[in-house]
Amino acid sequence: MPNCMYIRQSDRARHRRAAARAERSTKGPYLYSNNGYVLLSLVVERATGTTLAAYSKTRIFEPLGMGDTQYRK
C-alpha cells in the first residue's frame, strides 16, 4: 500500500496551477483564515463536552503515536 503522505510531483504542480487560478479569480491575494478551526472547535465542544485540543489529543494524536503534537493555547 502506498504511503498516504507521499505527494507526487504532478499532483503538486496541479495544486499550484489550481491555486494560481483561484487567486486570479478572486481579484486579489488569498488571505488565510482560521474561521474553519474556530467553527470546528465549537462543534466538537458542543458534541463531546470537551475542548478541541483535549478531544484531538485523546482521539487523534495519542492513537497515532503523535505524543509531541498539540494545539497552541
Residue 26 included in any domain: yes
Say if 69 falls within a structural domain: no
Q: What is the structure's pLDDT at 6? A: 53
Asked, for residue 71, whether it belongs to a domain, the answer is: no
Q: Whole domain around residue 46: which residue ranges?
A: 9-61
The DSSP code sequence of 3-70 is -TT---HHHHHHHHHHHHHHHHHTTS------HHHHHHHHHHHHHHSS-HHHHHIIIIITTTT-TT--
Asked whether residue 21 is assigned to any structural domain, the reply reads yes
Residue-level pLDDT at 35: 84
Q: Is residue 67 part of a domain?
A: no
Task: For residue 45, tell me if it sits in a domain.
Answer: yes
Q: List the pLDDT tens digit at each of the 73 positions of the chain.
A: 344 455 566 677 777 777 777 766 656 666 677 888 889 889 999 999 999 889 989 998 899 999 888 777 6
Q: Does residue 66 belong to any structural domain of this protein?
A: no
Q: Total domain count for the chain? A: 1
Q: pTM to 2 decimals?
A: 0.51
